[in-house]
Amino acid sequence: MLCEEDFVEHQRVESTIPAGMRGTVRYFGKVEHSPDEGTYVGVQWDGKYKGKYDGEIFGVRYFQAPKMSSSFVKPIKLKVGGDLCHFLKTKYTLAEQHTRNLANLSDGEKPTKGLTNVISYQSVFRDDAGRFTNIRNVSASGSLTSRCGNVGHFFPNLTDLSLSFTLISEWKEVFLILNALKSLEALSLSGNKMQPLSAYLNSEEEVEDQLTFPTVTSLTLTSMNIEWDAVRYLMKKLPSLEELNCSDNDHTSTPLDATVAPKLSRLRLDNNDISCWETVSSNLRGVESLQFLHLSENPIKSIVTTNEDTLQLKGLYLRKTNLSSWDDVDNLSLLKLEELCLSGCPLTNILKEHERRCLVTARIPTLLTLNRGTITSSERIDCERFLVRYYHGAVNVPKIWNQLVEVHGNLLPLADVDISPKLTAAITVKYVYPSQTDESPFVVNVKQTVQKLTQSLCAPFGLNTKNVTLVMVDPEVAGTPIERTDLDKPSRMLYTYRLKDGDVIELHVKE
């Protein structure tokens, strides 16, 4: 049973009643004026409106939190984290047993239901020392992991580890894991609510300042509300880092330099609060290794670049930003990009898909991929010719327009011809009775069957569809039997008869 000593401030916990809610310990101890004199844990839950309190109860404040975000609960109603090594040993011991059982199946024998559920597991074996030496990629995402444990001994060859949305909250444990896994290349800590890094740096448990982890090349820190200073500190510990994902963290500024990120080639900063391109460019100018920059879903309104801009990017991703001027695209051409994503911007939403693709492609001569689609050499020529025609006779033309005119000539705009198939036809219907003939204009949907048309023409006059026949007549050759077409196939679609405006349909009524 959990007691007061099991809880510390900033520790992450999960509720048992109701099950699955996670939060951060803000207080532990007695609650004054409570009818129960036992120990309580003050928890601030993740998300809104999951508690009754704001850190105050019975007129006494124990901590500060938003309204209806916190609860005071008994320790028995909470789970605390366990160590990573224990979680992985439990998971892969089961997988090892299934591996052995599968290996013992005779030829043609089908595995039991319990075995088929784990066939997707990688083959799992332990050496004589009980270590899982063949395990490389591991996910503990969503688990109750909060501590390192002896993971380095039992899983010595891990290269890819996901610890997303666990109960890890202490940076000490993160560095213990990094220090224990000597072959680790990729680490994800997304969704974890960490203590402020300053608390760790001011403690006696700080990892030796000169200690680094040179094998790690990929780090994911999304949805953590992590401060940028903490990101910089982590990067200093990872000198071989090539890819960093800090999306969804409310960052506004991300200063870096080559001393912090000497090998960084891809930086993901999607869905933050970055609004100024000039600040981004200035902050990252010293990172010469940077090739791909992701800034999608940030409130960036404009792009201003100069010939002195030293960002040597290959790819830039600006999906769902606030760019609204073609001058921004012209300025991007100075970066000599090979890949660009601009989908979902106000700038491109006002045009048809084909038009915006052509106008962006033609403006940036170095572009090889736009919005994940490859630009072929023939498409580029078509796009450049489209831009010349699009701005023919305009007062304000793009900077590249004159260059393209020299290559393709001053092309005139093409006629805007709608070649899409028409859905309706304006026709004349002749009701041919034994003793008289009546005419009425009709607009018919050509994507319907002959039977449907017959029913719609007969219904107003109460005619029985079994007593009528339809004949289509081309008025240009009316009276010529060869051009009279019997509409005698009830399930055939009208458009297959090439029915068009001005045609005549005779409805012959039998006696």
pLDDT score at 96: 61
Percent of the chain with pLDDT over 90: 61
pLDDT score at 353: 87
CA–CA distance, 399 with 402 (Å, rounded to integer)? 7
pLDDT band at 480 (very low <50, low <70, confident <90, very high): low
Average pLDDT over residues 385-401: 93
pLDDT tens-digit map of 344-384: 998 877 788 899 999 999 999 999 999 999 999 999 999 99
Q: What is the pTM of this model?
A: 0.75
pLDDT score at 127: 83
CA–CA distance, 315 with 294 (Å, rounded to integer)? 8
Strand partners, 340: 316, 370
Strand partners, 370: 340, 373
pLDDT band at 104 (very low <50, low <70, confident <90, very high): low
Sign of CA dihedral 446, 449, 452, 453: positive
The answer, yes or no, to whether residue 462 has pLDDT greater than 50, is: yes
> With contact defined as beta carbons under 8 Å apart, do 415 and 389 qualify?
no
Largest separation between any pair of C-alpha atoms in the chain:
110
pLDDT score at 422: 80
CA–CA distance, 118 with 137 (Å, rounded to integer)? 16
CA–CA distance, 382 with 376 (Å, rounded to integer)? 10
pLDDT score at 259: 85
Q: Fill in the amino acid letter for 240.
A: S
Distance of CA 198 to the CA centre of its chain: 32
The answer, yes or no, to whether residue 122 has pLDDT greater than 90, is: no
CA–CA distance, 368 with 375 (Å, rounded to integer)? 5
> With contact defined as beta carbons under 8 Å apart, do 117 and 52 qualify?
no
